[in-house]
């Protein structure tokens, strides 16, 4: 079972969630490029964050391409989305987002509608460093708690 965990912090200047991973030589890397609203909307729609006006200072992202590991992640009551590969750009990999768990977000449709345009997100290229090859799909769980 392989579940990767990244702890990201909100950088007000760039309006992005950034993470560091010294083992991979990554510092101040955005989790998601130019779609910080997707993180905020996912937390709001799942009921995991209630403050519409403020973004959480810290988020924890757990992710895996293993369906069995995803079942383990569902033991925690935090939102999980499936990301389906769409395309590879120069500095990012584009994925289509689909809500998965909880079975019904507080308002999943609002989450999907609020992502400005299609439900595509541009992921930081370094997220692919955690996989042997770019996955066709993988699962992400987001939390505002560091200990989820």
Structure confidence at residue 111 as a pLDDT band (50, 70, 90):
low
Using CB atoms within 10 Å of the CB of residue 105, give its burial: 0 to 12 exposed, 13 to 18 middle, 19+ buried. buried
Contact (CB, 8 A) for 81 and 99: yes
The answer to whether residue 108 scores a pLDDT higher than 70 is: no
Predicted model pTM: 0.81
The answer to whether residue 105 scores a pLDDT higher than 60 is: no
**Average pLDDT, stretch 120-142?**
87
C-alpha span between 95 and 87 (Å, rounded): 7
Query: Residue 37 has what pLDDT?
Result: 75
pLDDT tens digits, one per residue of 49-101:
777 788 889 999 899 999 888 888 887 778 788 889 988 876 778 888 877 66
CA 22 to chain centre: 20
Nearest to 110 by CA among 17, 31, 46, 15: 46
């Amino acid at each position: 079972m392989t579940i990767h965990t990244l702890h990201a912090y909100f950088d007000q200047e760039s309006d992005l969630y950034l993470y560091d991973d010294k083992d991979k030589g990554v510092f101040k890397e955005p989790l998601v490029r130019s779609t910080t609203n997707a993180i905020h909307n996912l937390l709001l729609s799942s009921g995991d964050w209630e403050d519409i006006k403020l973004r959480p200072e810290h988020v924890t992202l757990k992710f895996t391409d293993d369906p069995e590991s995803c079942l383990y992640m569902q033991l925690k009551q935090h939102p999980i989305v499936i990301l389906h590969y769409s395309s590879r750009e120069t500095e990012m990999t584009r994925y289509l987002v689909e809500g998965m768990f909880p079975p019904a977000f507080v308002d999943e449709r609002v989450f999907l509608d609020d992502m400005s345009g299609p439900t595509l997100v541009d992921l930081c290229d370094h997220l692919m460093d955690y996989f042997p090859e770019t996955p066709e799909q993988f699962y992400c769980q987001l939390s505002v708690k560091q200990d989820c």
